Structure 1
């Protein structure tokens, strides 16, 4: 892998594409790229971690990763296509990580680009394909799949433990007791560390984990009960409020149907 990435970084082309598959639970250690990366999830689910927080990338979505950003990737039965862009090839290079929706057209372009040689002819069809890919990738709408994580080591430990087994019944007072601070101090500390209130962060974390489980085939009812909701309807209402879509939109069959649509 390292020699392949080195080749991609040095290739005298604006865009280079590589496909990768990772087993369940695989962790790609913290690293950086000289190019801007667009990481597209074909199947499975990815969790990207940086100093600025955590992003999830379900199938049918992609993640912009700016050049030079230190990041670590956790995967669950994932197949990806990574696009590496030269900085001067992008009209507005992303300054922060951002998940985007992959339209049928963009997906078709990425699929086609995966079969283009690294040193493609810029004057022929492959070159035109890559130029269109550049334009389309920059037009894609953003998706709200970012969860800020605190730098405070004590808060980070609590947040990571919650992310591993989220329960919507967890209260600020419980975490304040763990940290041996007043509830008011905890509120201030958490807001300063994440930019979100505890309740906002808790909902987002529940949604992130739910999306991961939905795309892998878990039922809405099972997820709702595991997270401490009294009913699947209460969970679904929260989920729709956070994402603008019902949980069924991320269920495995819905994702498979969406990805199989003709471009």
Structure 2
């Protein structure tokens, strides 16, 4: 059955403030649906590739039953931000006209503190497995990229995943390569149920799901990296990368288990 991954599209109506703790300078913004969002800009940092990673990582997390704030496409009008006084922010807004990505703002959420908050081993294992699948380098003690909201753990910030697409060559090798940085994962010490999670998640995900998901990526995001002028070729690489990564999940699960054993 074909999956529906079409996100809602909102129009940004007000830039509220920059969230300067993020390296790509995201912002809190209002949209025309009446909600507040954390806006990720296509003109920032790793540009559209960070948005692609954010989209794919967040949507896969949702498929696997993990909590993520709702993702929406966020349209930025060319006239938006002309009155912004900060030149850095004004340049960012000018460079981000068109379709961006935003996450629903979780008002009152607090950053996950690994020293003060305990996480169920099964949930920890699910998150570690996800980050192995998408090669996410950023869920560390330094950047936990998780929030506690309404007593539940929510995942945010997947823009640093999918390392392969920053060089694009030898993506097949990247899909089956080891991921030693997993030793720095903030939840690895608690991830005692990786084998169980691997068995469960292999039954949920499939190449067909990845194909449906990748098919909804905006064409201009894909073409912006200039890795190819054939958008279908680009979609196929993302689909095949994820499919090959999934087919090697037994190997990366063992790698995570071995890294965990080395810690304890």
Tell me the TM-score normalized by structure 1.
0.28
Higher relative contact order (CA 8 A, sep 6+): 2
Determine which structure has the larger strand proportion and give its number. 1
Tell me the TM-score normalized by structure 2.
0.28
